[in-house]
Structure 1
Amino acid sequence: MTARGITGRLLAAGVGALAARAVLRAVTASPRAATLERTNFRGRTVTLAAGPAFSVGAAVAGALDAPSRPAAAAALVAGIGSGSVGLYDDVVGARPEQKAAKGFAGHLAALRRGQLTSGLVKIAGVGAAGLGAAALLAADPDVRCRQPRSTLGRVADVLLGAGVIAGTANLLNLLDLRPGRALKAGVLLGAPLTAGRSGGLAAGPVGAAVGLLPDDLDERVMLGDSGANALGALLGVAMAARTGPVGRAGILAVVAGLTAASEKVSFTKVIQNTRGLRELDEWGRRTS
């Protein structure tokens, strides 16, 4: 990467961090900030304001350093779209009548009873955001040159891209069970993606993650569905922008495998029982 490219990535990361911090201050100072207060796993009162703060800050910063206008639009659609439906689920899903439905099967069962749950709205919204972002990426010159020539092949490639974006959004959400865990995973996954032509798409989210990490580790804020979905969706856009059909299919297979494994195995238990992962997970977190 050239010096100019490195400077651009650092600038995008800085914008992401500053924008996320600015939105966090604005949300926590708003009259409705109390509706975002929740109790974390240790009984501490935290705010979900980090979710919309990350969603807006990371999406805008990623779009500013995107390699093309279609890629910039894809970042905005994925980040703000996934973050918005995640925020809806964070707020509406806390209502007593919404808490009974658990998992995808639970949401479908509720729908058969005539109840549209906030979780199902989130699932559909993240999927729609992923599809919209993948369709926009298809207009990026660098992505278009890697697509199949046939119409059917291009449609399949867009669907694979949508799967990568929506699947990664869901996967990062599964990690948001302990302070700083999802943000650390986002930084580790996103840092290598900052190289290359489409690296700006990842630099903004990485910067926003670093900017919010201290507050998350100190148990003052939580990402919630809003921030975790936006983090995963934006990294999904960064991965989809640099791969063709084979690469997207491979990423989707890994994401799907990890998601399926989460139904059988607790990620938290695996992390706690694995040296290295346990120390990384606990790094920087308050002990009392």
Structure 2
Amino acid sequence: MIVSLGISGLLTRAATAALRTLAPGGRGRWERENYAGRAVELYAGPAAALAAAVAAGRVRPAAGVAVAVAGACGAYDDFAGTGDPRRGFRAHLTALRGGELTSGAVKLFGISAAGLLAGALMKERAVDKVLAGVVIAGAAHAVNLVDVRPGRAAGTVLALAVPGLLREGPAAELAAAATGAAGAVLPDDLGERAMVGDAGAHALGAALGAAVVAGAGRAGLVAHAAAVVAAAVCGERVSALAGARG
């Protein structure tokens, strides 16, 4: 567990520093305006996604793939979806029916597919495989939903993952992968110097979901699947109301 925690935390900081130095595509590409109009950096999100994927992958390769895909889909939205006013699954699915593949649709299908694949590889029984996939993909989405103010996404992951460190085996190791990355980005996130963006939020959520899957039985999977589905439904309603008012 200590190794997973260290790999995740240290690699997040190292990758953040490397991206800040290299700034692929120019520094302007890596800057955004936050809710308060302050300029913040996006380096921490992809760095946390990479670190959490590496740390999770050494424990459960399927979990590492799910985290990596969630981070990649989130990064695509961060950089390709900038300025798209559409929010919620319904809006993106409506656009898809009209022949437009939005960055939100890429996230929806990419993260869902990766979550279901990871769940299928991490569990043995068919029902558990599906429930596990819902938990991993749903957790990725749920953490992204709370990422509306500095520190919300990373803080939520820490609050939910730290108790998992008290478990044993793969569940604790995967919880450590999520904890290390979230803890590494939290100070800059809270200080409004950086934001984790969709890349970081989705990847950290997927790592958290994988930790739950690794340690949960059927009853636990049902409870967590119900929770993330409820969060998605609530988020969809909020998005719909915001769109109607906008």
Please, what TM-score do these two structures have when normalized by structure 2?
0.90
Give the deviation of 1:82 after TM superposition.
0.4
Which amino acid in structure 2 is aligned with residue 120 of structure 1?
A: A
Which amino acid in structure 1 is aligned with residue 2 of structure 2?
A: L
The alignment status of 1:176 with 2:147, answered yes or no, reads: yes
Q: Residues 178-197 of structure 1: CA distance to partner in whole angstroms, max 9, x if unpaired?
A: 11111111011001112211
Give the deviation of 1:34 after TM superposition.
2.5
Counterparts of 1:12 and 1:100, CA distance in 2: 38
Q: Within 5 Å, which residues of 2 pair with 1:153-168?
A: 154-168=125-139
Counterparts of 1:85 and 1:218, CA distance in 2: 26
Q: Within 5 Å, which residues of 2 pair with 1:216-255?
A: 216-255=189-228
Runs of 4+ in 1 over 3 A off after TM superposition: 262-266
1:285 maps to which residue?
none
| Alpha carbons 1:77, 1:132 under 8 Å: kept | no
Give the deviation of 1:156 after TM superposition.
2.1
The alignment status of 1:60 with 2:54, answered yes or no, reads: yes
Counterparts of 1:10 and 1:102, CA distance in 2: 39
Which amino acid in structure 2 is aligned with residue 103 of structure 1?
A: G
2:113 maps to which residue?
128
Counterparts of 1:86 and 1:263, CA distance in 2: 18
Q: Within 5 Å, which residues of 2 pair with 1:188-199?
A: 188-194=159-165, 195-198=167-170, 199=172
Which amino acid in structure 2 is aligned with residue 210 of structure 1?
A: G
2:30 maps to which residue?
36
Unaligned 5+ residue runs, structure 2? 240-246
Q: Residues 234-285 of structure 1: CA distance to partner in whole angstroms, max 9, x if unpaired?
A: 110110111222221111112222332334569xxxxxxxxxxxxxxxxxxx
The alignment status of 1:112 with 2:107, answered yes or no, reads: no
Counterparts of 1:60 and 1:250, CA distance in 2: 28
The alignment status of 1:47 with 2:41, answered yes or no, reads: yes
Aligned pair count reads 235
Which amino acid in structure 2 is aligned with residue 93 of structure 1?
A: G
| Alpha carbons 2:158, 2:179 under 8 Å: kept | yes
Which amino acid in structure 2 is aligned with residue 229 of structure 1?
A: H
Counterparts of 1:232 and 1:121, CA distance in 2: 17
Counterparts of 2:225 and 2:97, CA distance in 1: 29
Counterparts of 2:57 and 2:164, CA distance in 1: 15
| Alpha carbons 1:46, 1:219 under 8 Å: kept | yes
1:19 maps to which residue?
11
Counterparts of 1:132 and 1:191, CA distance in 2: 26
Counterparts of 1:126 and 1:36, CA distance in 2: 23
Give the deviation of 1:55 after TM superposition.
0.6
Aligned alpha-carbon RMSD (Å): 1.6
Max Rg structure: 1
Which structure's residues are more often helix, by fraction? Answer: 2
| Distance 1:263-1:114 versus aligned 2 partners, 3 A rule | closer
| Alpha carbons 1:75, 1:234 under 8 Å: kept | yes
| Alpha carbons 1:169, 1:236 under 8 Å: kept | yes
Counterparts of 1:105 and 1:75, CA distance in 2: 28
| Distance 1:131-1:264 versus aligned 2 partners, 3 A rule | closer
